[in-house]
Amino acid sequence: MKKLLHDWAFRNLTIFGKITVVKTLALPILVQCLSVLPDPKSKQFEEIQKIIFNFIWDGKIDKIRRNIMISDKHKGGLKVPHILSFAKSLKLTWVKKCLDPQCKSSWKILIADKLEKWGYSNIWQLRREGLSTAMQVFNNFWQSVMQAWSEIMQHPTTAPSEILRQPLWHNNEILINKQRVCKSHWIKKGIFFINDLINDNGSFLSLENFQDKFNVHTNFLTYNGLISAIPKHWKELIKNVPREEISDCNIEKLRKAQKVSKLFYPIFLSSVAETPVNVKHKWEERMSIDIVENEWEQYFMIPHNVTMNTKLISFQFQILHRILCTNSRLFIFKILDTEMCSFCHETKESISHLFYGCLHARNIWITIQEKLKNLCNIDVCFN
């Protein structure tokens, strides 16, 4: 990657051209390794990310925070690849293969005995704490896969359907003597969710019905102890709610997805991506106006929507993020001896002065305003 990006660094590319090089040429180098090997250490991810941003900023200090640069364009970023999120999304393709009954690959035999203890495909329905416990018996690669999957598991809402599909085992909400519960022989019999303990009338199965249904030999204390461990507010919410087919929205999306990494990459990215809050506040302060979030999204997208010229888009991107170097900033950096405007020589050369406040810039806007009025019958007041 270093060699490839070093060769491309000599070309006069805009920031968009550099990001395209990273996505189309550099990133594919990592795909195979990140897909079939355990995740490297965090320092190695940081090193890879550093290589990418060094290429984008020509080896100089970053002008915009990295967590902003990885954001979507409408949020003020440029969708620079975030390697850690990319690696996690690639790992989830293996979850889809595990859940796919049409996948008959021989590698499934290697983990079948470990998956059996957790109910095979039901392991992917465990909550985060359950997956953290389950992954201890797997190798480093599968630990990386399970860790990635656990990060997209959402906290259950109060919807009865979500409560019914809550796992009984290794669940922090279901405790006996302040300990999480797990009964492997019950799991092998197909007892995994709260839903499995509910009858068609929406009440809990009696001990006799439970034993007959699952062919499990247990006693009154064990069975009712498990039911008593289920939180009372959950029981109230699912009272008189009949059992239903268990389905998880993330698993359903996973099964239907053509490209798993593309589906889950934005989810991982959302936990680290940021918007340029400070830049927004500075513009609002400078212009003495309040701008709502939807308007900011429009402003960030205008340069992408009105032209395909990457140099123009890049130029406007610098203006929006206030990284375009004017004389006032160059004077602070001691690169110039004056901070006055290069054209009128009367005021400090800021971005707003250079493109609007300067007399020479105002003459241009007045000319455009007159042309629009006379030739197009469009009355516009630029402000």
Strands 179-180 and 175-176: antiparallel
DSSP 170-211: S-TTSEETTEE---HHHHHTT--BGGGGB-TTSSBPPHHHHH
- Determine contact, residues 349/327, Cβ cutoff 8 Å: yes
- Greater pLDDT, 247 or 112: 112
**Residue-range domain boundaries for the chain:** 2-91+262-266, 107-257+267-271, 277-376
Strand ranges for the chain from DSSP E: 175-176, 179-180
Residue 55 has pLDDT above 90, yes or no: yes
pLDDT tens track for 152-191: 876 666 677 788 888 888 888 888 888 888 888 888 888 8
Backbone angles phi, psi at 249, to 5 degrees: -60, -40
- Determine contact, residues 239/202, Cβ cutoff 8 Å: yes
User: For residue 78, how far is the Cα from the chain centroid?
Assistant: 15
Q: Which residue has the tokens 């902003």?
A: 68
Cα torsion 341, 347, 351, 354 to 10°: value is -50
Task: Give this prediction's pTM.
Answer: 0.84
Residue 65 has pLDDT above 90, yes or no: yes
Query: What is the reported pLDDT for 283?
Result: 93
When pLDDT is cut at 50, 70 and 90, the band that residue 90 belongs to is very high
CA 336 to each of CA 343, 346, 357: distance values in angstroms, whole numbers, following the listed order: 15, 16, 21
Per-chain mean pLDDT for the chain: 89
Average pLDDT over residues 353-380: 93
Residue 251 has pLDDT above 80, yes or no: no
pLDDT tens track for 181-237: 888 888 888 888 888 888 888 888 888 988 888 888 888 888 889 889 988 888 888
- Greater pLDDT, 64 or 164: 64
Question: Which residues face 193 on adjacent strands?
Answer: 167
Question: Which residues face 204 on adjacent strands?
Answer: 198
Query: What is the reported pLDDT for 137?
Result: 82
DSSP 84-107: HHHHHHHHTHHHHHHH-TT---TH
pLDDT tens track for 311-341: 999 999 999 999 999 999 899 989 999 999 9
